[in-house]
Structure 1
């Protein structure tokens, strides 16, 4: 991982889309700081397309799409994207699975939930689970004392034995049934909503993240950036971000935003 200062200026000038994780990338220790939110707003006002790509639930994503300075949001690790049309006051929702499949998957996930909570002491259902439509989130450090990494791995193994996918974020193990992840839905959104094909995305999209569930994005986007706390999970990442900020969490995101805004300003004044 190279320091953000080594991000080539010409490549930075070509960026027009910012995809970003939320937890511990925009937020800092669970708090959305003024500097991080201001960075989002500054990017949006400068004309960047800004899209959070998160493991957080549908209920949160409805709020984010409506009220944050963003153009859309991908939620539950790729289960859907939401895009709010402020002019027409209409929420556009695109789900990976059909409603009946979602219902069937919920039954299967309930069985996994029972097994995890009875066999992994100290684990808990994520407090935002009630607002989810497609996945199961097991808390291992957000609202419970942090579990050892071996116990986090046990949770992942339970999901995988049941045939589900499982990804570790900085706070939860998220599991679901379906052949999707953050990357697959991000690609769908870029193409369907913004008319950005994959070849173009390689040169015009930056992704920022911090944890293992961001790995598909780190692997796919040449212009990927980790905030400094990605070092915590570096040993779990086969594919690491290309660049890394000096700042942790929201400070790192604000650092990236300032870098992109400065590059755009230089481009516009050239």
Structure 2
């Protein structure tokens, strides 16, 4: 199904019947990224899932967005489909939007489930800062034609090095608008919003998550007033897939799931 929100075509689907729950996928994901989660929850709940603008079958945003833009869009989406209040589950980037939605529009959110959620600024080592600032310096050199030509004369192609080091392969594959969106999103620290979340929150993490480390979940558990953290062993950033059986039981117990029929 498709709807238009501020001239952006949004793809979404709904499954099952019962009390609503809204699923928000991670960066680079789409509705299908939830895998077995949707059909399992749809046995007793009305499940809504959408492709965020810039992902799946939804159109790109008209300009680079930050998490606030995605949250504002989500509220308009909920208004348009008549979803007054709902439980919300967010994975990774979807967790960012869930945090901001829960903090700024508490009347629209029931229970919250954050799965390997992003939203905090990670701890940085000196190696990280050395890499970042050396890259920025080399980028300036590459932009200066005389210096770039001088280096190329001694066998150093600054432009090629900058192109090679300019982010991950996933980042380089993004359209320009989504690259700028990615930069805005990852540099937003949502920690100040945690204390504003009034909803009950279940935090589920994979012990081996390297994208959003377990200490993210530990911080969120301490700072969200009503939160509990469950860490799944032998699971990574996609804990809901790595340990689906356990994940499914934990979530259903938390939302008081009742299977139909």
TM range (shorter): 0.3 to 0.5
Q: Report 1 or 2 for greater relative contact order, CA contacts < 8 Å, sequence distance ≥ 6.
A: 1
**TM-score normalised by L of structure 2:** 0.38
Q: Which has the larger radius of gyration?
A: 2
**TM-score normalised by L of structure 1:** 0.37
